[in-house]
Structure 1
Amino acid sequence: MLNLHHLTSFVMLHQAGSFTLAAERLGIGQSTISQHIQRLEKSLGRQLVARDTHRVSLTAEGEALLGYARGMLEINGKVTALFGESRLRGRLRFGISEDVVANRLSGILEDFVRLHPLVDLELTVALSAVLYQMQEAGELDLVLAKRRLDEQHGKLLYREPLVWLARDPEFVLSRSDFMPLIAFPPPSITRKVAQEALDGAGIAWRVVCTCGSLSGLTAAARAGMGVLVQPRSMAPSGLREIMEGDLPPLEDVEFVLVPRRGADQALVEALSGQIRSRIMPPSREA
């Protein structure tokens, strides 16, 4: 019979992409993760993980096992929730910022649903300011979003810089008429920060693309339409950071968790704990 601890390490290794991150997220040693994978491979008589110097990936046999492993862990979670001492159930309305979704949402949701299968989780993806408005109206129980440095609401997860991004920075910077800006619609925090920075430096600008989804903004930036502002750790592939000095500096933003007063605290804390364990502050070297 397959060991559930080994399967947990296997699934987490796939999610994290490295032994180091998998160990951090599970709160165990890296050597323990390696032992779990080795024992799982030995029990099945197949190589499940391909290792190179850059990233860990699954072999064809590992990909075939992944769905079954997730299913077994999900069933285990349901049984534990049904017969365990703490059986969380109810409805939790969770709002998350648009730019966080593309980077970190899948793993958070996968872990939460597996551990708390009796909780009805409702997900809303929107701009940070819109999420705060919805929560104020009583429509969301927990929000994961950005805030500006002078704001105090929420519980701080981490802080990181915003950066200017473009497919071809040299071409964009060579323009003499205006700076073409690609941005979320108001009341976007990154849009406002970018506009304030350009205004403060006396640089003319014009919004050439507005879209409520990060995928749309990324497509426009990759097409060379203009500059896009994003947190550094969330910079989409295919875009280059414009170096400091070529455009005015942008202020940092903070990522926060904001629980609603009156929400079910057990449910809020269960999801908050998953988020805190999965969202690590980005490396200063990034």
Structure 2
Amino acid sequence: MLNPVWLNTFATVAASHSFTDAGRQLRLTQSSVSEHIRRLEEHVGRRLLVRDTHSLSLTADGEAMLVHARMILEAMTHAELQFRSPRLRGRVRLGSSDDVALGPLPSVLAAFRRTHPDVELEITIGMTGRLYEHLDAGSIDLMVGKRRIGDPRGIPLFSGQLEWLGLTGTEVDLEQPLPLILVAEPSVTRAVVLDSLAAVGARWQVVCTSSSYAGCIAAARGGLGLTVRSHFLAGRGLSPPVNRAALPELPQVEFIALGAKHLSRPAETLLQILQNSDLRGEWPGE
């Protein structure tokens, strides 16, 4: 039988891409992490990870094992929460960026609701930068969104590739500054995009600023310029520019779950479900 402790260590290593970071999250020594991975590989008789001094990656068998590990750990978490804990009551104030809310969040909320039907959810949708402010001010209990530049807090969930989007058929004039449609400050996406452009010496002009992604999509559909969204949320009527290969490359962004310093039991439970859900690693979209 697969040891759930080994599986949890394996899933954490796969999500963090580091034995050291996994050990820190699990409060284990690096040697203990290595031992768990070794024993899991011996048990299944397959090599699951390829590791050198600079990188760590999953083998094909490792990718298959990660799917099973997440399903097993999530099922165990749900069972433990339902049968070992008294029935939860109360309210959880959750903040979510709209890209997460329109992407992977519904499945997590459904799982939480099935297990804890007496807990009221109060969901605030907003720019990730604002969610950090709400969390620090104590107006929400936890948040899911992009990791803020320079902020180490939060449990890594998944990574999303940023993409250029414009009106379908758009060909960008590379002799002119890039016409940008971006969300207003404070915005993690805005900061990441502008920092990436500055790093390669690209020229740009912000032609439209919106308080929401919906406004950015509307402006892009109107042909005002280019906007940026995670690859799993490409807007209807928009697509990457025809000459996208000539545009500056955009980075991946990391999505996290972050709780307040003092959480109620319902909020702590939802944070655990997020941490052990199948969002950990690389969420490809639907």
Unaligned runs of 5+ in 2: 1-66, 73-81
* Partner Cα distance (2:97, 2:262) in 1: 22
Aligned residue number for residue 158 of structure 1: 158
* Partner Cα distance (1:280, 1:218) in 2: 28
Question: Is the Cα contact below 8 Å between 1:148 and 1:252 reproduced in 2?
Answer: no
CA change 1:261–1:123 in 2 (3 A) is same
5 Å-filtered alignment, 1:14-29, equals 27=71
Question: Is the Cα contact below 8 Å between 1:159 and 1:255 reproduced in 2?
Answer: yes
CA displacement at 1:248 relative to structure 2: 1.6
Aligned residue number for residue 237 of structure 2: 238
Aligned residue number for residue 130 of structure 1: 130
1:198-253 per-position Cα deviation (integer Å, ceiling 9, x unaligned):
33334332222222222222222223221111222233243223566412222321
CA displacement at 1:256 relative to structure 2: 0.6
Aligned residue number for residue 167 of structure 1: 167
Aligned residue number for residue 50 of structure 1: none
* Partner Cα distance (2:204, 2:273) in 1: 40
CA change 1:184–1:132 in 2 (3 A) is same
Aligned partner of 1:117: which letter? P
Aligned partner of 1:240: which letter? S
Task: Select between 113-122 and 198-207 the one with higher mean Cα deviation.
Answer: 198-207
Alpha-carbon RMSD: 3.4
1:39-60 per-position Cα deviation (integer Å, ceiling 9, x unaligned):
xxxxxxxxxxxxxxxxxxxxxx
* Partner Cα distance (1:207, 1:279) in 2: 33
Aligned residue number for residue 39 of structure 1: none
* Partner Cα distance (1:195, 1:169) in 2: 24
Aligned residue number for residue 54 of structure 1: none
Aligned residue number for residue 178 of structure 1: 177
* Partner Cα distance (2:167, 2:261) in 1: 43
Task: Select between 157-166 and 186-195 the one with higher mean Cα deviation.
Answer: 157-166
CA displacement at 1:165 relative to structure 2: 1.7
CA displacement at 1:263 relative to structure 2: 1.1
* Partner Cα distance (1:198, 1:258) in 2: 28
Question: Is the Cα contact below 8 Å between 2:143 and 2:258 reproduced in 1?
Answer: yes
* Partner Cα distance (1:285, 1:137) in 2: 32
Aligned residue number for residue 205 of structure 2: 206
Task: Select between 191-200 and 83-92 the one with higher mean Cα deviation.
Answer: 83-92
CA change 1:115–1:159 in 2 (3 A) is same
CA displacement at 1:126 relative to structure 2: 1.1
CA change 1:244–1:208 in 2 (3 A) is closer
CA displacement at 1:149 relative to structure 2: 5.9
Question: Is the Cα contact below 8 Å between 1:185 and 1:191 reproduced in 2?
Answer: yes
CA displacement at 1:192 relative to structure 2: 1.5
Aligned partner of 1:241: which letter? P
Aligned partner of 2:222: which letter? A
Aligned residue number for residue 192 of structure 2: 193
Unaligned runs of 5+ in 1: 1-22, 29-80
Work out whether 1:215 is the aligned partner of 2:214: yes
Higher relative contact order (CA 8 A, sep 6+): 2
Question: Is the Cα contact below 8 Å between 1:141 and 1:259 reproduced in 2?
Answer: yes
SS of structure 2 residue aligned to 1:139: coil
Aligned residue number for residue 105 of structure 1: 105
* Partner Cα distance (1:108, 1:152) in 2: 24
SS of structure 2 residue aligned to 1:262: coil
SS of structure 1 residue aligned to 2:103: helix
Aligned residue number for residue 258 of structure 1: 258
CA displacement at 1:111 relative to structure 2: 3.2
Count, aligned residues: 212
SS of structure 1 residue aligned to 2:246: coil
Q: TM-score, structure 1 length as denominator?
A: 0.63
SS of structure 1 residue aligned to 2:185: coil
Q: TM-score, structure 2 length as denominator?
A: 0.63
CA displacement at 1:285 relative to structure 2: 11
* Partner Cα distance (2:135, 2:229) in 1: 24
* Partner Cα distance (1:145, 1:283) in 2: 13
